Amino acid sequence: MNVQANAFDAVLAQIRRRPAGRRRILFTGATIVTMDPGLGVIDRGDLLVEGDTITAVGGDLGGGDAVVVDATGTILTPGFVDTHRHAWQAQLRRIMPDVDDLAGYVMTTLAGHATVYRPEDMYIGTRLAALTAIDSGITTMLDFSHNSRTREHSDAAIQALLDTGIRGVHASMGPHFGDWDRQWPGDLTRIKDRYFSSDDQLLTLRLAALATDEIAGPALSYGPELADVAKELGIGVSVDAVFGAASSEAVLRWAEDGILGPDVTLIHSTGLTSEAWKAMGETGSTVSLAPTSDAQIGLETAIPAVDEALSAGIRPGLSIDVEVALASDMFTQMRTLHALQRMRAVNAAYGTDRQPSRITTHDVLDFATLQGARTNGLAGVTGSLTPGKKADLLVIQAEDLNNMPLNDPIGTIVLGSDPRNISTVLINGEPRKWNGQVLDVDLPALRSAVHASRTYVLNTPAA
């Protein structure tokens, strides 16, 4: 280890010697991309963290007794927010990289491998996904946990989020296929009482559902009954598989029934009618796009619905979706959406005198941070480096070989950087990645557990 790395680790030791609630950390000399509309980008700025909260952002703050982190040559940015990932599948990564359609995924994974998962497999997959998220700069992850076969399966998935220290959103749903205890959604009351009793904690709870009964029947599809469950518990709703004509009709029914609104997230939203989008916009519903999933797997139109969302007045969040076929990081989602939307815009205007309406790197970074937080119901908590919000932030090395020289910080984040450039991740003020390494992980033990779980799941016949 070089001298600079040793010095950086000494700073970490200083931070950790102080009780979490009494820590003061001052980052100095960074280019700060706040994603706060009122603060913008600050050149050579300082950022002060006290306890779990950002308390000041600006120039030459002075830290008093704060531990000083020299962030010269770096970019400080909010942590990324993943609005939809099926984390339990992580030990099955890339088992179907060239899956042709949704049915191929559903029958292999949900009707097959999912049916043999034990609680320990739920724990291992979810923990692996959450640690990978942290490593790649995702500080908030919504785990759409749709393999809750027993109470113990749900508990294992939640415990995995707790053990990694990520800002996690547990979105609970029963399985699509196979035998299960039918404890969902009734078990949500127990889950909330046991794990989500406080409004000021890292984990939050949502109800997860499907848009229609086409895949797994009516018990898992969103409607007045599940809306009442969520309302009684005071939790938000995330609705997956929002595709095409049937989902468009469902959206209009939900609007008529008064069960659409800002606390409801519609995932994918590809191939919807203009009437459905109008209802979504008028009710303030949120949208989670999965750019690589829509395009690579070919979901409905296979085109991420960013233009439709923006036209309806909705700024969407971004998500990873399924690691059985897709990349695990937010950089890939931002770049994919940025390229696809701009390609479509130019193609639509080609041969005419119309000017293409193109999104920008700022747009996709906004989707991956501030809008992701809003989509997950956490707009007042995270998503921007705003004083008063929790300290969920990244330090990105701007002078690494692939990033230097730093000319445009937002362009560098979106188009130049990748997980290797993230030297530091703070979540709720706690260092979770430092000097390029995820902290507090026994990697050999994790690797052994992941391989054992993968072997069991792939070699056990579907139940």
Residue-wise pLDDT for 360-404, tens only, equals 999 999 999 999 999 999 999 999 999 999 999 999 999 999 999
Mean per-residue pLDDT, 62-90: 95
Which one-letter amino acid corresponds to residue 28?
Answer: T
Mean per-residue pLDDT, 188-214: 94
Q: How far apart are CA 463 and CA 447, in angstroms?
A: 26
Q: How far apart are CA 435 and CA 447, in angstroms?
A: 21
Query: Domains along the chain?
Result: 3-78+380-436 (2.30.40.10), 80-375 (3.20.20.140)
pLDDT of the residue at 3: 44
pLDDT of the residue at 5: 63
Split at pLDDT 50, 70, 90, the class of 84 is: very high
Q: How far apart are CA 414 and CA 394, in angstroms?
A: 13
Residue 434 has pLDDT above 70, yes or no: yes
- In Å, what is the CA distance from 73 to each residue of 26, 39, 394? 15, 20, 13
The whole-chain average pLDDT of the chain stands at: 96
Mean per-residue pLDDT, 240-246: 96
Share of the chain above pLDDT 90, in %: 92
CA angle 433, 436, 437 (to 5 degrees): 55
Mean per-residue pLDDT, 216-241: 96
pLDDT of the residue at 150: 98
pLDDT of the residue at 74: 98
If we measure between CA atoms, which residue out of 257, 267, 306, 270 comes closest to residue 288?
Answer: 267
CA angle 355, 331, 40 (to 5 degrees): 70
pLDDT of the residue at 1: 39
If we measure between CA atoms, which residue out of 265, 422, 414, 256 comes closest to residue 336?
Answer: 414
Q: What would the two tokens of residue 97 be?
A: 């990289």
CB atoms within 10 A of CB 227: 21
Please count the residues of the chain: 463
Q: Using one digit for the tens of pLDDT, what is the confidence trace for 436-447?
A: 999 999 999 999
Q: How far apart are CA 177 and CA 107, in angstroms?
A: 9
Burial category of 434 from C-beta neighbours within 10 Å (exposed 0-12, middle 13-18, buried 19 and up): buried
Residue 6 has pLDDT above 80, yes or no: no
Q: How far apart are CA 391 and CA 393, in angstroms?
A: 6
Q: Using one digit for the tens of pLDDT, what is the confidence trace for 261-313?
A: 999 999 999 999 999 999 999 999 999 999 999 999 999 999 999 999 999 99
Mean per-residue pLDDT, 121-141: 98
pLDDT of the residue at 2: 47
pLDDT of the residue at 60: 84
Residue 345 vs residue 63, higher pLDDT: 345
Residue 117 has pLDDT above 80, yes or no: yes
